[in-house]
Amino acid sequence: MSTPRPHPPASPGTSPQAGKTTGVFTYSNPRVIHWGAGSVAQLGAELQRLETTRIAVVTTRSLLSALDRLPAKPVATILISQHAPMSQIDAGVEETSSARADGIVSFGGGSAIDAAKIISVRLADGGGRALPHIAIPTTLSAAELAAGAGYTTEAGDKAGMRDARLLVETVIYDAELTLATPMQLWLSTGIRALDHAVEGYLAVGEHPFNDVMALEAIRRLFSSLPRAKAVPDDVAVRTENQLAAWFSFTLPGASASGLSHMMGKQIGARYGIPHGVTSCLLLPHVMRYMARQMPDR
């Protein structure tokens, strides 16, 4: 999160000095990020570092057959469907508690990861510390990078929560584990990452670090997403996609609060549309609108 503190305007008859701006930037991403093919092998070492011996895995039904790729055996497996219904999260809290799990591994896309975040906080210990959470993403949604989580209410509305404890301890970007992700889902969440980068870049205020990262994310996504479509099993290209998604989300609050995101959350929950698809639908229109509002960007 970046909070600029511009100096007072120059006195009449004088010119402001270039670069005469100060600010503060707080890193809001997970502290440890592993990346590259085969990096899931680091899961055991991360669990040991976090002193976690009994894990609950939060995932989706489509990934059940891939759980044996994780080098750790869960004591509980919680299944989450699209948009993370709170009823499933409630059941996950009960199951994780009953299994006496002392840590959580999320394996999947944004819904599984967000559900795992909420479960980890709701099972915080007496000192208020959430259960350690390691995220292994299989899409490009970047949910693993945010100290926030979205879910769907029983009425079908999208809701969310923010809490510093929602931030995962470790992210593992292993492109080999994404090869089973359907291409439409992979590419649409890639546009979601592009949405993050664009709306972060258009955030009000001065954010020099994020500007650099967002522009690099955009460059990498434009280069690597078409190659991922052309050669779906190219692990190096998928790793490039994952790095771009990571770079797209260094200003989480602003990136997740832009016009495309705010509309997409409600439309997605109400009509059962994945967030990647809502970004595909909304981002072009938002960019045309913002081009008139912020022509200098």
Tell whether 163 and 186 lie within a shared domain.
Answer: no
Whether residue 12 is contained in a domain is answered as: no
For residue 2, being part of any structural domain is answered with: no
**pLDDT value for 266:** 86
In a domain, 253, yes or no: yes
Q: Which of 133, 160, 178 is the last residue of a domain?
A: 178
Looking at residue 150, its pLDDT comes to 92
**Phi, psi (degrees; rounded to nearest 5) at 16:** -65, 145
Structural domain harbouring 142: 32-178
Task: Give the separation between CA 266 and CA 152, rounded to whole angstroms.
Answer: 10
Q: How many CB atoms lie within 10 A of CB 225?
A: 21
Same domain, 41 and 172: yes
pLDDT digits (tens, 9 = 90+) for 72-122: 999 999 999 999 999 999 999 999 999 999 999 999 999 999 999 999 999
Residue 216 domain flag: yes
Same domain, 190 and 169: no
Question: What confidence score (pLDDT) does residue 284 get?
Answer: 96
R_g of the chain, CA atoms, integer Å? 20
Looking at the structure, tell me whether residues 154 and 47 fall in a common domain.
yes
pLDDT of 18 higher than 70: no
Please name the amino acid found at residue 265: K
Are both 46 and 154 inside the same structural domain? yes
Nearest by Cα to 33 from 118, 114, 142, 164: 142
Contact 173, 39 (CB under 8 A): yes
Q: In the chain, which ranges are continuous DSSP H helix?
A: 43-49, 86-98, 110-122, 183-201, 208-230, 235-247, 252-255, 259-271, 275-293
Same domain, 259 and 143: no
Q: What is the pLDDT of residue 15?
A: 34
Q: What is the mean pLDDT of the chain?
A: 92
Encoded tokens for 56:
């609950």
In a domain, 6, yes or no: no
- pLDDT (average), residues 139-158: 93
What's the pLDDT band for 236 if we cut at 50, 70, 90?
Answer: very high
Residue 215 lies in a domain: yes
What integer pLDDT is reported at residue 11 of this predicted model? Answer: 33
Look at residue 222 in the predicted model and tell me its pLDDT. Answer: 98
Identify whether 19 is part of a domain.
Answer: no
CATH number, position 195: 1.20.1090.10
Assessment of whether the complete model's pTM goes beyond 0.85: yes
Confidence of residue 20 (pLDDT cuts 50, 70, 90): low
The tens digit of pLDDT for each residue in 240-276 reads 999 999 999 999 878 878 999 999 988 988 888 998 9
Residue 1 lies in a domain: no
Q: 158 pLDDT band (50/70/90 cuts)? A: confident
Of the CA atoms within 13 Å of residue 102, those in its CB half-sphere come to: 7
- Number of domains, the chain: 2
59: pLDDT confidence band, cut at 50, 70 and 90? very high
Give dist(CA 241, CA 141) in Å, integer.
11
Residues 141 and 48 in one domain: yes
Encode pLDDT of 115-146 as tens digits.
Answer: 999 999 999 998 899 999 999 999 999 999 99
Q: 95 with 171, same domain?
A: yes
Same domain as 191, residue 111: no
SS3 annotation, 113-152: HHHHHHHHHHCCCCCCCCCCEEEEECCCCCHHHCCEEEEE
The enclosing domain of 47 has a CATH number of 3.40.50.1970
Same domain for 49 and 154, yes or no, is: yes
pLDDT at 19: 54
